Amino acid sequence: MEQERRGSLVLQPQTSFVSRHRPSTEVVHDEKRQKAIADLSSHCSPPGNLKQLLIACAKALSENNMDEFEKLIEKTKDAVSICGEPIQRLGAYMVEGLVARKEASGSNIYRALRCREPEGRDLLSYMHILYEICPYLKFGYLAANGAIAEACRTEDRIHIIDFQIAQGTQGVTLLQALAARPGGAPHVRITGIDDPVSKYARGSGLEAVGRRLSALSEQFNISFEFHGVPVLAPEITRDMLSIRPGEALAVNFPLQLHHTPDESVDVNNPRDGLLRLVKSLSPKVTTLVEQESNTNTAPFVPRFI
């Protein structure tokens, strides 16, 4: 009997009964299979050890200690496998990344991996599956929606500026929450911003998101307007946002700011300019959903860890 545990494969003995009529080839196959499992088990590296190996590789690389890096990377390659435990599979791709950084071949690998982009309908399906099974996106969206709904709970007219509307998934749950408001649903206007490059992800432009949210608002009897702005976030101007007096303004940044260039990338600091623009609008609430990692200004080793 084989019992899989986190980080290692534990083998327990099993009594074998072989019929006299059982072909000898089956016994041979069983023996080979058991040997293969034992070999795999012997090559498994405890998760902590593999993690430390990967970090040691990254440190050697950052210090330009190529001799040490080559020794460590060879040792690490023996401990990873794209068919092994989860930590081994993750480790295999981390090794590829380290080698690519050492060879400065990352851009070539990226271009080689860019296969045919999925059709809009297929990608929407993939994104929906990811949203349903992974708490990362769902938790962030629901937390931001809760903050917006709470801040605007007494408002009759709400204008939401979403700086990365994507497929409009967050807007769906927000409209559902506003429709259930005890005092009745407010008039909702959403300005959906998304870079024009992502058009293929929907199979069409932002009008597809507008149609989806409009259909939902009719279902929940919500007075609704949608304005799509297919522009890169740093290029947004106040005139594009159609600010109206009498509306409670909510600004939403869902996983947007970490890939908006700052002063380490562009001397003009587009991220700072974007935040200054939002501050000048005096929003009632601003929500921020971000990964907790500095991928712009931190040195290589802390980013790797």
Q: The domain containing residue 102 runs over which residues?
A: 47-113
In the predicted model, residues of the chain with pLDDT beneath 50 are 1-29, 32-44
Are 135 and 161 found together in one domain?
Answer: yes
* Model pLDDT, residue 91: 93
Predicted pLDDT of residue 123 = 65
Residues 150 and 60 in one domain: no
In a domain, 79, yes or no: yes
pLDDT of residue 255: 86
* pLDDT score for 187: 97
Alpha-carbon distance of 247 to 286, in angstroms, equals: 15
Examine the fold and report which residue of 67, 86, 113 is the final residue of a domain before the chain moves on: 113
Which of 88, 113, 138 is the last residue in one of the domains? 113
pLDDT in the model for residue 258: 83
How far apart are alpha carbons 63 and 301 in whole angstroms?
A: 10
32 inside domain: no
Number of domains in the chain: 2
**Domain co-membership, 72 together with 219:** no
CB within 8 A of 206, min separation 6: which ones?
A: 165, 192, 194, 228, 229, 230
Look up the pTM and report it.
0.67
